Amino acid sequence: MSSSALLSDSLLLTVTGRDHPGITARLTGLLAEAGASLLDIEQVVVRGQLTLCLAVRLPDAPGVRESLFATARELGLSLDIQPAPAPGPAVSSRHVVTLVGRSLGPSEVHAVTERLLQHGANIERLHRLSEVEPGSLEIHVTLPPGRELEPLQRSLLELAMSTSAFDVALQRESLYRRAKRLVVMDMDSTLIRIEVIDELARAYGVGEQVSRITERAMHGEMDYDESLRQRVALLKGLDARVLQNIADQLPLTDGAQTLIRVLKRLGYRTAIISGGFSVAAEALRTRLGIDYAHSNVLEVVDGKLTGRTLGAIVNARRKAELLESIAQAEGILLDQVIAVGDGANDLLMLERAGLGIAFRAKPKLRQAADASISAGGLDTILYLLGLTARELQEVRD
């Protein structure tokens, strides 16, 4: 056909039916032979059922549409041809909502999508990250010009805090969302299930006193440096072997081992930045193959704790500084850093990172973080990176 043949206004071709090899090849081949222009294309297959949409301009020549319908029938498919809708209004930003739970049914999906509707977010794409039943969904949404992101983010956080069935995270869709390179984690009650200082205190018979101070510090009700000094002072005289025994048997948080193993296989750098103690942090670094570990050093004299620490205290400001220092040493942009923590001492670190995640955290930190995880384990973070269950299985194998 002559290249000068007139083309129609844009049309939307919607092809549906049972999926099998060769469908897209046959239809695009026919369009190519006819001299059509391709404006857009999208295809999805759900449980073997295909939906293929093509926005095209067809030559204004007899027989082209008839050939398309005949080919569709031959392939066992239905074809609908309608004028293509005009492009949608401009959008101010694109975002990804990740929904992760044990099992996501209609009520869970409705709860999230209803919040999106209330804040004017339009769903452009929704797909399953989990392998069989929906346990993780990724929803790509757009917001209209002038619509602020913060109210939607706050609404989704409130939803996540109201249930233990699933976690919801909202991220800006950008080059860096799937290009993270460094994951920095708090240790106590994040990478491990315990607070090491509380375990030491219980072993020494000062558990109640230390726990009260710890709780106040975690809620941001007390200066961290002073709280650490007071707690460590209560441990004066404790045999250092007790600390080593605890460090040798640290209970990992659910999903921690999977998270670190996958991150290492994918080439990520990993770090512990903790207000806990170096003996425990170094034990975890060796056990899990973590690249960096920064924490407080307990002074030991004649095999006993002196009740003091050595060097600068790893407080909130120091955590943020260490995050920046590691990123700089590795040549990694802050937008490519994930920080994970559970207490007020982690706030500045989470704010400094491209993605700050509150993990089973106190309300104050959850409200300030980019994302919050409470229902799942640490391996939920892998879904926030956009990885699918199939991709994770490939890495595990």
- Rounded to 5°, the CA angle 351-182-324 comes to 50
Catalytic residue among 186, 342, 346, 379: 186
Residue 186 falls in the annotated catalytic set: yes
Question: Cα-flanking dihedrals φ and ψ of residue 140, to 5°?
Answer: -95, 125
Q: Are 137 and 104 in contact (CB under 8 A)?
A: yes
Whole-number Å distance between alpha carbons of 109 and 159? 12
Q: Please choose, from the candidates 392, 397, 394, 387, the residue with its C-alpha nearest in 3D space to the C-alpha of residue 128.
A: 387
Tell me how crowded residue 275 is: count the other CB atoms within 10 A of its CB.
28
DSSP 104-150: --HHHHHHHHHHHHHTT-EEEEEEE-SSSS-SEEEEEEEE-TT--SH
Give the contacts of 41 (CB within 8 A, at least 6 positions apart): 52, 53, 54, 55
Catalytic residue among 188, 225, 346, 379: 188
**Considering just the CA atoms, what is the radius of gyration of the chain in Å?**
27
**Which helix or strand (DSSP H or E) is residue 185 part of?**
strand 182-185
Residues with catalytic function: 186, 188
